[in-house]
Amino acid sequence: MSEFPADVSDKNAARVAAGKRNVTLRSDHRVNGTLESQLVIPRKTPHQLKISAYRDRLLKSLKTALPLALFERFDRRSMDMLDTVPDNTEIARYSDLCQYVEYCVRMDYPPLPFEGYVVDAHLSYMMAEGRKRSAIDRRVSSLVAWAHALELDDPRASFKVKNRLGRIRKMVKNKRRQAEGLRVAHLEQALSLFDPAIARDCQDIALLFVGFETLCRQSELVRFDWEDLRIDSDGSSLLELDWHKTDQEGDGSYLYLSRNTTDLLLGWQRRSGQSSGAIFRGIYSSGKMGDRLSERGVSRCFKRTAGRLGLEPSVFSGHSNRVGAAQEMVERNVDSAKIMLSGRWKSMAMLTQYAKRIQAKRSGMAELTQRLEWDKPREPITHLSQDTEG
């Protein structure tokens, strides 16, 4: 005999039946399906959210400024172009086009197709704002990429724009602020200061050495998983990089790690208790481990290190490992081709940029002053004065 009144039991049975009916109406319900076969909608990554925000801005600005056919072409092509270039390149292209379109709307100019007088006016505006030549060059490159995607005329084709670009090359400075290099002396000093018993210190020192030996960019360092590590019998190891900026086909590369850096990495593995998934992770101030480390987290690691070494944190960035490693190899006369292979550069341009200071100290004049021994400290010169009788 039931301990509940009949009307209560009937209500419970009705609720159960209603619940079963509601389950069948859910979008992820599959009759006789397994868990693996059910629909899983992945969350958008921060990059995808950022690109979506840029597209919304552009579509809102262009909706009333373009003929319907051209607006629909832009909408279609911009969707087709998603995830076809590196993340930073994609962000730069959208950001540059947003600023160009918003300038055109503000000035009541037609944003598309690209008109010579409009592009010229925009470049003139950037010069007046004091933009660096590298920023202007990037803006032009982005507009050219969009023109190609939309099958429009090249924005550089008109005489006015060509003339403006010539004036920019002559008048606008192109001096780049180069990140300070993370050198061997910095790494050795950090090794003596960091405590491997502290989780953040243990990860930071491993990240510094891995970044230095692999010459990886921030976006590449955060991609590594423990499954990418291959340890050899001599104690050294290889890290498999599945994709990098100059590897658009995704062929991948193997990057060498010394025994010293491999030991640091394995020490971090033991400390973190992780053997799969992301190697480098965010660590909260409470010591709790988070998800995969962000690119900003890599930059913060370099700045923390600079502060602990008594250096100005602003001079170090997430690019300092590439600069410092290249400079160390140049100073030690490592073959340029091998340096380019390590840094995955396709030309000598960046290596030449990084090695400017070192090469200046190897110039003909530097060699001459060394032969003349002008670089040696001299005894202070004292001027003797004699009193003369008038």
320-361: pLDDT as tens digits? 888 888 888 888 888 888 888 888 887 777 777 777 777 788
For residue 330, what pLDDT is reported? 87
Q: What band does 73 get if pLDDT is binned at 50, 70 and 90?
A: very high
Q: What is the pTM of this model?
A: 0.64
For residue 115, what pLDDT is reported? 94
| More confident: 105 or 2 | 105
Exposed/middle/buried for residue 245 (C-beta within 10 Å: 0-12, 13-18, 19+): middle
Question: What percentage of residues in the chain have a pLDDT greater than 70?
Answer: 83
Give me the mean pLDDT over the 54-78 stretch: 91
Domains in the chain, CATH or no CATH each: 46-171 (1.10.150.130), 184-360 (1.10.443.10)
Q: Look at 9-18, 167-176, 179-188 and tell me which has the smallest mean pLDDT.
A: 9-18
Dihedral angle of Cα 309, 313, 318, 322, to the nearest 10 degrees: -60
* Long-range interactions of 365-373: CB distance < 8 A, separation 24+: none
Task: Specify whether the CB–CB gap between 93 and 99 falls below 8 A.
Answer: no
Q: What is the CA radius of gyration of the chain?
A: 30
Considering only CA atoms, which of 209, 206, 183 is closest in space to residue 283? 206
d(CA 300, CA 255): 24
| Confidence check: pLDDT of 218 > 60 | yes
Side chain identity, residue 357: R
| Confidence check: pLDDT of 381 > 50 | yes
Task: Specify whether the CB–CB gap between 163 and 117 falls below 8 A.
Answer: no
pLDDT tens, 277-314?
999 998 887 778 888 898 888 988 888 888 888 888 77
Q: Look at 42-56, 131-145, 220-234 and tell me which has the smallest mean pLDDT.
A: 42-56
Q: How many H helices and E strands in the chain? A: 17, 5
